[in-house]
């Protein structure tokens, strides 16, 4: 049987793509060994082991999730790495009021520009959308640290914004682009929520169109794609969308340079945080710390995100019990300036967070691929 489309991968990009293709009447099959990708929600524990929040301005990724508790930005403690810390609202924030105001002005411009860019990316490639806005194109290649210095935000970034960025990315400001930095920094101004993801509902939606397997080889001849899986299945389609992690996509398609991935490790802990860590909902740390952030959940348990596989829990907790763990050896592709094209030939598409960090950019890339395919199916 020859399908209209095979979507490889079932994360934010793959599911968003498949959803739009299904709604458009396409014959689509999704192949993945897991469902959700970084939407790693543990329904039994009620915690997110992957992406931790969604923003209120997520127009596409929010279709896949249910928003839960709003994260209070005023209930954060920022640690400076030398046993000093301060809350979001404190005498320290008063001293940084001018810098915080300047940051808000810079971000207001970014949010306005980025909103248009995101909408354009639903209908055109990211490269085309950047060509329409030199501001966004410049941010894509500019290091975040350079952007901060250019806008005289060094002090407020060091105290506040860099720690929030580190919590979202696991890397420092020299490693990520200004575009990714500003994207995640929106979470300091725009409401953010924890979320749940109903994997079973997505499986029910796909029905027998979901194949739980791993694609190991891809070939194309005379406009027909053939995909071989680890389970010895063979799928054929007129179009294929690779919504897999960047390294997997690069291997299957023989791509060139891609961004490098960071590593993150998440532990779900029941315990009592030590003094100085127990006053706010979240603790945010500088890049010099192997701990990225801690977040107290509604039931009093704590998520600990780190960039090292072994965390000294005794340094964080008076007493503790490990409830669960998730290792992300390739968490997010955030380091470098490489750009991955979104279409190769007439019928091969790439979707994911290869060029832009976060659930929403990934979802938008899936929507773009689906729109391109649906236009061809209408013509046919």
The full DSSP string for 98-153 is HHHHHHHHHHHHHHHHHHHHHHHHTTS-HHHHHHH-HHHHHHHHSBHHHHHHHTT-
- Residues 251-261 have a mean pLDDT of 92
Whether residue 321 is contained in a domain is answered as no
List, in sequence order, every residue forming a beta bridge with 335; answer none if it has no partner.
260
Tell me the C-alpha distance between 154 and 317, whole Å: 32
pLDDT band at residue 109 using 50, 70 and 90 as cut-offs:
very high
The answer to whether residue 300 sits within a structural domain is: no
* pLDDT the model gives residue 242: 98
How far is CA 22 from each of CA 4, 6, 317, 350, rounded to the nearest angstrom? 11, 12, 48, 18
pLDDT of residue 336: 86
Query: With left for phi above 0 and alpha for psi between -120 and 50, is residue 276 left, alpha or beta?
Result: left
| pLDDT, average across residues 342-365 | 95
As a whole number of Å, the CA-based R_g of the chain is 21
For residue 208, is it within any domain? yes
- In the predicted structure, residue 72 carries a pLDDT above the cut 60: yes
In a domain, 148, yes or no: no
Residue 316 lies in a domain: no
HSE-CB at 338 with a 13 A cutoff on CA atoms is 17
Share of the chain above pLDDT 90, in %: 92
Token representation of residue 181? 């930095």
Q: Is the pLDDT of residue 114 over 90?
A: yes
Count of Cβ atoms closer than 10 Å to residue 133 Cβ: 15
> Over the stretch 131-159, which tens digit does the pLDDT of each residue have?
999 999 999 999 999 999 999 999 999 99
The range of the structural domain enclosing residue 349 comes to 2-43+196-260+336-379
The chain-wide mean pLDDT, for the chain, equals: 95
In a domain? residue 16? yes
Q: pLDDT tens, 184-215?
A: 999 999 999 999 999 999 999 999 999 999 99
Smallest CA-to-CA distance from 351 within 257, 246, 228, 218 is with 246
Which residue carries 């980025």 as its tokens? Answer: 114
Determine the pLDDT at residue 239: 98
The answer to whether residues 181 and 121 touch, using CB atoms and an 8 Å cutoff, is no
DSSP state of 255: -
Residue 50 has pLDDT above 80, yes or no: yes
**Mean pLDDT computed over 97-105:** 94
CA separation for the pair 46, 69 (Å, rounded): 11
Residue 91 is predicted with a pLDDT of 86
Question: For residue 102, is it within any domain?
Answer: no
Q: Are 234 and 58 spatial neighbours (Cβ–Cβ below 8 Å)? A: no
The answer to the question of residue 200 being in a domain is yes
Question: For the chain, what is the total number of helices (H) and then of strands (E)?
Answer: 13, 22
Query: Can you give the CATH number for the domain in which 7 is found?
Result: 3.50.50.60
Identify the three-state secondary structure at position 206.
helix
- Tokens at 131, concatenated: 């060509």
- Please determine, for residue 75, whether its predicted confidence score (pLDDT) is greater than 80: yes
pLDDT reported for residue 380: 53
The region that residue 49 occupies, defined by phi over 0 for left and psi between -120 and 50 for alpha, beta otherwise, is: alpha
Query: What pLDDT sits at residue 94?
Result: 87
The answer on pLDDT for 320 being more than 80 is yes
Phi, psi of 64 (to 5 degrees): -95, -10
Say how far apart CA 23 and CA 10 lie, in whole Å: 17
Mean pLDDT calculated for residue range 235-245 = 97
Residue 81: predicted pLDDT: 77
Cα dist from 58 to 87, 331, 361, whole Å: 27, 20, 9
Residue 338 burial (CB count, 10 A)? 16
Helix axes 134-141, 178-185, angle to 10 degrees: 100
Distance CA 15, CA 311 (A): 33
Give the sign of the dihedral formed by CA 68, CA 72, CA 77, CA 80: positive
Residue 379's pLDDT is 53
Mean pLDDT of 96-124: 96
Residue 69, helix vs strand vs coil: strand
pLDDT class of 84 with cuts at 50, 70, 90: confident
CB atoms within 10 A of CB 350: 25
- Mean pLDDT computed over 175-190: 96
Closest by CA position to 32, among listed 198, 166, 206, 292? 206
How many structural domains comprise the chain?
1
């Amino acid at each position: 049987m020859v399908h209209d489309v095979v979507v490889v991968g079932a994360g934010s990009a793959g599911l968003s793509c498949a959803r739009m293709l299904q709604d458009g009447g396409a014959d689509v099959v999704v192949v993945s060994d897991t469902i959700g990708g970084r939407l790693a929600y543990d329904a039994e524990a009620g915690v997110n082991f992957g992406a931790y929040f969604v923003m209120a301005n997520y127009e596409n990724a929010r279709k896949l999730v249910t928003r839960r508790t709003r994260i209070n930005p005023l209930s954060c403690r920022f640690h400076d790495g030398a046993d000093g810390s301060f809350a979001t609202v404190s005498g320290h924030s008063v001293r940084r009021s001018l810098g915080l105001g300047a940051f808000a002005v810079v971000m207001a411009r970014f949010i306005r520009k980025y909103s248009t860019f995101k909408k354009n990316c639903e209908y055109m490639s990211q490269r085309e959308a950047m060509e329409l806005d030199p501001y966004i194109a410049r941010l894509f290649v500019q290091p975040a640290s350079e952007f901060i210095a250019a806008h005289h935000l060094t002090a407020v970034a060091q105290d506040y914004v860099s720690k929030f960025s580190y919590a979202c990315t696991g890397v420092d400001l020299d490693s990520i682009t200004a575009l990714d930095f500003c994207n995640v920094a929106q979470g300091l101004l725009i409401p953010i929520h924890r979320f749940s993801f109903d994997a079973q509902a997505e499986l029910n939606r796909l029905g027998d169109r979901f194949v739980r397997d791993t694609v190991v080889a891809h070939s194309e001849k005379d406009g027909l794609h053939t995909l071989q899986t680890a389970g010895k299945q063979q799928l054929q389609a007129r179009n294929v969308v690779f919504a897999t992690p960047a390294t997997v996509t690069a291997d299957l398609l023989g791509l060139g340079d891609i961004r490098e991935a960071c590593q993150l490790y998440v532990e779900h802990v029941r315990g009592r945080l030590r003094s100085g860590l127990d006053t706010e909902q979240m603790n945010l740390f500088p890049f010099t710390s192997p701990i990225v952030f801690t977040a107290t959940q509604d039931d009093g348990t704590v998520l600990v995100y780190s960039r090292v596989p072994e965390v000294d829990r005794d340094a964080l907790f008076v007493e503790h019990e490990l409830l669960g763990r998730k290792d992300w050896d390739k968490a997010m592709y955030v380091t470098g300036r490489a750009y991955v094209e979104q279409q190769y030939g007439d019928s091969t598409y790439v979707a994911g967070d290869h060029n832009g960090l976060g659930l929403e950019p990934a979802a938008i890339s899936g929507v773009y691929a689906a729109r391109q395919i649906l236009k061809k199916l209408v013509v046919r």
